[in-house]
Structure 1
Amino acid sequence: MSELPEMSTSIGVEVTRIEDRVEEAKVTPRRQVDATRILYGKAASDTPSLIGSVFTLCAASPRIASEAAIAAAQSRPTPDALRWRWRRMLYAERVAEHLRANLLDWPGEKSDPRRLAHLPALRKALGAVRAAGEGNDNSLHAALKEAACEIGAPLEAGQNPTAWFAELWRDALQYAQIAPWLSGVDFLAIDDVESVHRALCGRNADFLARPHLPGRVVETGPFARQFPYLRRNVGLLAARLQARFQDIAQALDALASRELLAGEGDLVVAGSRRLGEGFAMVDSPRGFLFHRVEIDASGAVTTYEILAPTEWNFHPAGPFAQALAAAKLDVADPRRFLATLAALFDPCASCDIRLREAQHA
């Protein structure tokens, strides 16, 4: 197993600029904290609930990934009713998590009355998600749609954001000229899932910290899901915000439907290479989340690995680093711009952003 450099639990973001040009952009992955060690020796049947208690952010996604990976390891089929329940929980979580990230994680004063005014709506959405596994489909959809409308999400084609989301839209639009669209974007796809499974079987710590595919450093998440439908004339930051809006609207449409939507992709993919080994991918709010488990003959967990979307998106040569390198810093508050760009990649860890001026030769 390869040695890794010392890393913080925060993502390091160091930008060096000369005048308004980015001279160097360095992204340091967060240190991998092996929270899964508590699972070793525990009964596999207890693992999903333990996972849910450890990972409280987007709690449904890791729990479902754990359930699917363990079922694959034990060669248990997944009933259609359970798959439909997973679908309901994942779409509900997608709506609520986008509302939470946009309200709580957007740069700016946390005590801003405009932000605080929408906290009751967010609490309503989060409460609905906690009950999503057992609740009524109609009441779940109604609660989430009401919360999304109160915060200002545009849910119909051609509709403009209102309320808090209108503030964010204006914020993102001001950066249209300094954050260009990048050519040659590359997204993690369902066809890549087996390649990730093989890489995880190699038990390589470097892959968990800096995941990549042969010749590719890829992105996952709402920008990847909604890419074909995004406006190209509003700048990169506003387009990324638009991707979240469309994710919310699409998830609400899915929750309102008792059938799969046209073109609806797989939310959960699971597989196994042998009895006692299982793997699952869940398309979480932030993107593809991977779990891999090994179970011994007694049913106890001997290995458990998690690869989160953040590691793909904040790879040192990944999409966030590329966006940093391509940006211009011709703004009054470049630190605010950097924080906004980072927030739109939605890491599940804090970013330690440092900006320094290069010395002229």
Structure 2
Amino acid sequence: MSLAAHNKIDVTVLLAADVVAAIEILPRVRPPLARLFTGKKASSLLKVLPRLFALCAAAQQTALLSAVETARDEVITRTTKQHRIALIVIERIADLLRGLFVGHFTHYIGSAAATRSLMRGMSALLGSAQPAWDSAQCEATARIVAALNALGMPNEGDAERSDGPLALRIAALDEIDLKSIPAEHSFLSVADDLNVIKRLLVDGATFCCCPDLDGHVPETGPWARQMTRDRLSPSPSGAAERLRARVAEALRLCAWLKAGAQIDAAEHGIIERYKLGPGRAAAAVECARGRLYHAVELDPQGRISRFEFLAPTEWNFHPRGPLVRSLQGAVLTARRRRDAVDAVIASLDPCVGFTLNFREVGDA
């Protein structure tokens, strides 16, 4: 999700004798969608969204469309819902995997052929997204799974191949892993939707820029989904664990597609709609980086009179959020500090670019 200039996150790590004393986060400038959308027909905005968001365009379109349809009391068919879920899943797979070969496997000799095959499979899958599941999509999904296996990424229940790029990358992440103070973890889920939406409509942009739930700032994204779904202990909780969660989720979503993309087997809460009153509604979509929210109010002519949105990045890069909790109190030696912090930031996968700076301060 990227827009104009200044659309980046600035992270400054304050160090006291190699210990992280504090983290300062200057958030991105959020796109002014409320101002841009007010007074517009919803139908005219759907084609605009892909130009406003370089990432998660299908999720953004689905969230807006679902909120508007619900505000209008429109009922969608089961086939339409299945198609939209499949589009979200395909986009999620692409976003999850893009980060793997851009940020993790580019330097591993011997992975080039598998990476090229993975990229071809992704391109074929993205290009074959049709209302009905067909053999071309099944073939593209099978190619992706085969390429992931060749990169040493196991199917569910299997062990990582010790000489594969995945195992080598995890070993590298473990080597630079931070010695952090154990932190409390909470995870955003479908159970939080109504509380989030209420705050969206009550507090508007103030909440969207710095969201919290009763003072807590939960994590959202692949690792949070895994912890919630499987009820796992969130320890350890470093960059390596988040990488494993990305891989496991991509393979699980591919398996769902290969099995025919059946709606009854779809992930719980992947697209949710909420009617909030006459002409008012909201939608939540589980996209690659976490849970995305859109809320709308329509005037009697069907134009948008109010629009609020909340993206996953605002949770994960909150001044008291998951990034800060992962870094606070960690020991960073000069030799590895940038690589270690870069790895944590990348594991939370911001939807925009970021800058990283270090500053020495007094004793922690």
* TM-score normalized by the length of structure 2: 0.86
Q: Distance in 2 between matches of 1:139 and 1:280?
A: 31
User: In 2 relative to 1, CA 229–133 (structure 1 residues): closer, same or farther, beyond 3 Å?
Assistant: farther
Greater mean deviation of Cα atoms: 314-323 or 154-163: 154-163
Confirm or deny that 1:186 pairs with 2:186. yes
User: In 2 relative to 1, CA 359–351 (structure 1 residues): closer, same or farther, beyond 3 Å?
Assistant: same
What is the match of residue 321 of structure 1?
A: 324
Confirm or deny that 1:302 pairs with 2:305. yes
Q: Which amino acid aligns with 2:32?
A: D
SS in 1 for 2:328: helix
What is the match of residue 4 of structure 1?
A: none
Retained in 1: the 8 A contact 2:13–2:357?
yes
TM-fit CA distance, 1:312 = 0.7
SS in 2 for 1:24: strand
Q: Distance in 2 between matches of 1:55 and 1:130?
A: 19
User: Structure 2 regions of 5+ residues with no counterpart?
Assistant: none
Percent of residue pairs identical: 27
Greater mean deviation of Cα atoms: 299-308 or 310-319: 299-308
Query: 5 Å matches for 1:1-361?
Result: 8-35=6-33, 37-106=35-104, 118-119=115-116, 121-134=118-131, 136-151=133-148, 152=151, 153-160=153-160, 164-176=165-177, 178-180=178-180, 182-227=182-227, 228=230, 236-258=238-260, 259=262, 264-330=267-333, 332-359=335-362
User: In 2 relative to 1, CA 301–116 (structure 1 residues): closer, same or farther, beyond 3 Å?
Assistant: farther
Retained in 2: the 8 A contact 1:12–1:29?
yes
Q: Distance in 2 between matches of 1:182 and 1:262?
A: 36
User: In 2 relative to 1, CA 326–134 (structure 1 residues): closer, same or farther, beyond 3 Å?
Assistant: farther
Q: Which amino acid aligns with 1:150?
A: A
Retained in 2: the 8 A contact 1:141–1:252?
no
TM-fit CA distance, 1:252 = 1.3
For 1:228-247, what per-residue CA distance to the aligned partner results, in whole angstroms no more than 9, with x for missing partners? 47687866221111111111
Q: Which amino acid aligns with 1:139?
A: A
SS in 1 for 2:331: coil
Q: Which amino acid aligns with 1:100?
A: R
Q: Which amino acid aligns with 1:205?
A: A
User: Structure 1 regions of 5+ residues with no counterpart?
Assistant: 1-6
For 1:135-171, what per-residue CA distance to the aligned partner results, in whole angstroms no more than 9, with x for missing partners? 6344324313423542523224223167543443232
Q: Distance in 1 between matches of 2:110 and 2:57?
A: 27
User: In 2 relative to 1, CA 174–167 (structure 1 residues): closer, same or farther, beyond 3 Å?
Assistant: same
For 1:92-141, what per-residue CA distance to the aligned partner results, in whole angstroms no more than 9, with x for missing partners? 222111111222245x9x78877876256325404422432446344324
TM-fit CA distance, 1:332 = 2.3
Q: Distance in 2 between matches of 1:188 and 1:86?
A: 22
TM-fit CA distance, 1:342 = 0.2
Q: Distance in 2 between matches of 1:155 and 1:149?
A: 10
User: In 2 relative to 1, CA 257–127 (structure 1 residues): closer, same or farther, beyond 3 Å?
Assistant: closer
User: In 2 relative to 1, CA 119–291 (structure 1 residues): closer, same or farther, beyond 3 Å?
Assistant: farther
Q: Distance in 2 between matches of 1:230 and 1:172?
A: 21
SS in 1 for 2:188: coil
TM-fit CA distance, 1:42 = 2.6
User: In 2 relative to 1, CA 322–124 (structure 1 residues): closer, same or farther, beyond 3 Å?
Assistant: same
TM-fit CA distance, 1:264 = 3.6
Calculate the aligned-residue CA RMSD, in Å: 2.9
User: In 2 relative to 1, CA 204–301 (structure 1 residues): closer, same or farther, beyond 3 Å?
Assistant: closer
